[in-house]
C-alpha cells in the first residue's frame, strides 16, 4: 500500500506540504495542468529550490492578486465542486475545508454556514488545499501517517488580537492528535496545514515500517538559525509486517437502550473514525436480555468515541483494552463493466492478489439502474478485474 508519512518536526503549513509533495516526485507540469481544471484565474504557482539551515528544500510560491472579499464555506465548495477536477480531488479538498469550517464554528460558537474565512479563504489557501489533493492523487497515496506536530511557541498576531500559539482554530483542528512545543518561537502549524493533516491522516506516531521510495522537503517561509524550517515527507510501500498495528476495543453492555439509538450510534462511530462497530446479544443481570456494543478504533479516535458512548447511550461506564490487528494489504481498482464503472477492493500478500471484493454499494446501485440481479453486477466486476490482472 502506497503510504505517505509527514515528519512534522518543524510543523506544517499549506505551502510546506505542497512543496514537499513536489519534491517527493509529484510532477510540476502535471500538477499545473490539473490545477488549471479548478477554473479560477488570478494566480501563479512556482517551485523554487531554497536552503533552510543547510537542507535543500522546495518552496511553493503561490502568487495571487489582492482580494477584498471573504469567502464562506459554500463559496469555496462551489468553486471546488463546479471544477473539472476528478471526484477524488474534489471530495478530499471539500473534506479539508469542511473540517476547517467546523473548527472555526466551534471556536466562534456560530453555525458553520455563517463562518467567513479570512486568510484560509483566500485564493492562495484554496490553491494549497486543492494542490495538495492533486499531488496525493498524482503520487497514488493510499495511506497517510503523521508524526506528532511541533506547534511552536509564543504568540501570533491575528485579526482579533494577539493569541497564544497554537491559535484557537489550530488547537481545535489538532484535538486528539499528538502535539508538542519547544523554545522555537512562532506559529509552526498553520490552520491550512493542520486541516490537511487532520483530514487525511488516520495514524499518528513514529515512522512506520516502509520500503521508502521517495522523500521530499517542503520549505516554510521563515528562516531560523540552526533550525531547518521544513516539512519532510517519506513515501513508500508498506510490507506484510507493517500491516500489523495496535488498536483499541472499547465496549459497554446495556439493557435499556432503543435499537434506533444503537443504529444512530453505529453511524456516528464510523463518522468519528471507528474501524468497526458491532452488537452482540448478551444476557445481563436479573435475566434481562441486553446488547454488548463494541467499537474497534485507533488510539487517537478513542477519546471522541468514549465521549460518543457517554453522550448518546444509556451507559454509565465504558471499558477498553488493547488489541493487535493484522490486515492484508489492499488497494482499490476501478474497472469498467457493462453496468458502468465499479470499484473493486483487491487484497494482496507480498504484491499478489488473493481476494477481490466489488464495492457493494456501487454494485447495488448499478443493479437497480440496470434492473438485473446484484450477483450479475458483482460477477461482471470480478471478471473485469481478472481480465485486467488486478491492476
C-alpha cell at 37: 481544471
Verify that 76 and 206 share a domain, yes or no: yes
Q: Are residues 130 and 39 part of one domain?
A: yes
Per-residue pLDDT of the chain (391 residues; tens, 9 = 90+): 789 999 999 999 999 999 999 999 999 999 999 999 999 988 999 999 999 999 999 999 998 877 656 788 888 999 999 999 998 899 999 999 988 888 888 887 888 877 777 545 478 889 999 999 999 999 999 899 999 999 999 887 766 667 788 888 899 999 889 999 999 998 999 999 999 999 999 889 889 888 899 999 999 999 998 899 999 999 998 765 445 678 999 999 999 999 999 999 999 999 998 999 999 999 999 899 999 999 999 988 999 999 999 999 999 999 999 998 887 777 888 889 999 999 998 887 766 778 899 999 999 999 999 999 999 999 999 999 888 765 5
- For the beta sheet containing 288-297, the strands, ordered from the edge strand earlier in sequence to the opposite edge, are 276-284, 288-297, 244-254, 319-326
What dihedral angle (degrees, nearest 10) is formed by the CA atoms of 301, 146, 1, 347? -10
Q: How many CB atoms lie within 10 A of CB 262?
A: 16
In sequence order, the 6+-apart residues with CB closer than 8 A to the CB of 36 are none
Residues 218, 334, single domain; the answer is no
Statement: the pTM of the whole predicted model exceeds 0.75: no
Q: Mark whether 44 and 177 lie in a shared domain.
A: yes
Query: Are residues 249 and 339 located together in one domain of the fold?
Result: no
Measured distance CA(213)–CA(141) in Å, rounded = 12
| Secondary structure (3-state) at 379 | helix
Residue that finishes a domain, picked among 238, 262, 284: 238
Which pLDDT value is given to residue 242? Answer: 46
Q: Which domain holds residue 249?
A: 244-326
Whether 219 and 365 share a structural domain: no
Task: Tell me the CATH number at 381.
Answer: 3.10.20.300
Residues 296 and 180 in one domain: no
Could you give the CA distance from residue 92 to residue 169 in angstroms, rounded to a whole number? 20
Asked if 287 and 362 sit in the same domain, the reply is no
Tell me how far apart the alpha carbons of residues 148 and 55 are, in angstroms, rounded to a whole number.
21
Strand order in the sheet with 340-349: 329-337, 340-349, 352-358
Q: Show which of 238, 264, 290 is a domain's final residue.
A: 238
So what's the pLDDT on residue 72? 85
Q: Which residues are within 8 A (CB) of 329 and not within 5 positions of it... i.e. 6 or more apart?
A: 1, 238, 240, 243, 347, 348, 349
Domain-ending residue, one of 217, 238, 259:
238
| Same-domain pairing of 115 and 229 | yes
- Give yes or no: residues 67 and 200 share one domain: yes
Residues 128 and 271 in one domain: no
pLDDT for residue 241? 45
**Structural domain tally of the chain?**
3
Q: Identify whether residues 165 and 93 lie together within a single domain.
A: yes
Distances in Å between the alpha carbon of 71 and those of 64, 103, 360?
15, 16, 38
Amino acid at each position: 500500500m502506497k503510504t505517505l508519512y509527514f515528519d512534522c518536526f518543524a510543523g506544517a503549513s499549506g505551502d510546506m506540504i505542497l512543496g514537499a509533495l513536489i519534491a517527493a516526485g509529484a510532477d510540476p507540469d502535471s500538477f499545473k495542468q490539473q490545477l488549471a481544471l479548478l477554473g479560477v484565474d488570478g494566480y501563479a504557482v512556482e517551485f523554487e529550490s531554497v536552503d533552510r539551515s543547510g537542507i535543500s528544500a522546495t518552496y511553493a510560491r503561490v502568487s495571487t492578486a489582492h482580494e477584498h472579499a471573504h469567502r464562506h464555506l459554500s463559496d469555496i465548495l462551489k468553486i471546488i465542486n463546479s471544477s473539472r477536477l476528478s471526484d477524488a480531488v474534489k471530495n478530499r479538498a471539500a473534506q479539508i475545508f469542511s473540517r476547517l469550517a467546523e473548527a472555526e464554528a466551534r471556536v466562534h460558537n456560530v453555525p458553520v454556514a455563517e463562518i467567513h474565512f479570512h486568510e484560509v479563504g483566500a485564493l492562495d489557501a484554496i490553491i494549497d488545499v486543492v494542490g495538495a489533493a492533486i499531488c496525493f492523487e498524482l503520487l497514488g497515496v493510499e495511506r497517510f501517517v503523521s508524526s506528532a506536530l511541533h506547534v511552536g511557541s509564543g504568540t501570533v498576531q491575528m485579526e482579533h488580537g494577539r493569541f497564544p500559539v497554537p491559535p484557537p482554530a489550530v488547537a481545535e483542528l489538532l484535538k486528539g492528535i499528538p502535539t508538542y512545543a519547544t523554545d522555537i518561537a512562532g506559529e509552526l502549524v498553520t490552520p491550512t496545514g493542520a486541516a490537511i493533516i487532520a483530514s487525511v491522516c488516520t495514524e499518528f506516531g513514529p515512522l512506520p515500517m516502509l520500503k521508502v521510495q521517495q522523500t521530499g522537503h517542503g520549505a516554510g517561509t521563515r528562516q531560523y538559525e540552526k533550525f531547518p524550517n521544513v516539512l519532510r515527507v517519506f513515501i513508500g510501500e508498506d510490507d506484510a509486517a507493517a500491516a500489523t498495528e495496535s488498536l483499541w476495543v472499547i465496549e459497554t453492555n446495556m439493557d435499556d437502550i432503543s435499537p434506533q439509538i444503537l443504529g444512530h450510534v453505529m453511524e456516528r462511530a464510523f463518522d468519528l473514525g471507528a474501524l468497526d462497530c458491532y452488537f452482540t446479544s448478551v444476557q445481563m443481570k436479573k435475566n434481562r436480555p441486553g446488547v454488548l456494543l463494541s467499537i474497534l478504533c485507533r488510539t487517537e479516535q478513542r477519546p471522541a468515541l468514549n465521549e460518543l458512548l457517554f453522550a448518546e447511550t444509556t451507559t454509565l461506564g465504558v471499558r477498553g483494552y488493547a488489541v493487535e490487528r493484522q490486515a492484508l494489504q489492499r488497494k482499490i481498482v476501478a474497472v469498467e463493466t457493462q453496468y458502468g464503472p465499479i470499484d473493486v477492493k483487491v487484497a494482496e500478500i507480498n504484491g499478489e492478489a488473493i481476494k477481490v471484493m466489488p464495492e457493494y454499494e456501487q454494485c447495488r446501485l448499478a443493479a437497480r439502474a440496470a434492473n438485473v440481479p446484484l450477483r450479475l453486477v458483482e460477477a461482471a466486476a470480478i471478471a473485469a478485474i481478472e481480465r485486467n490482472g488486478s491492476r
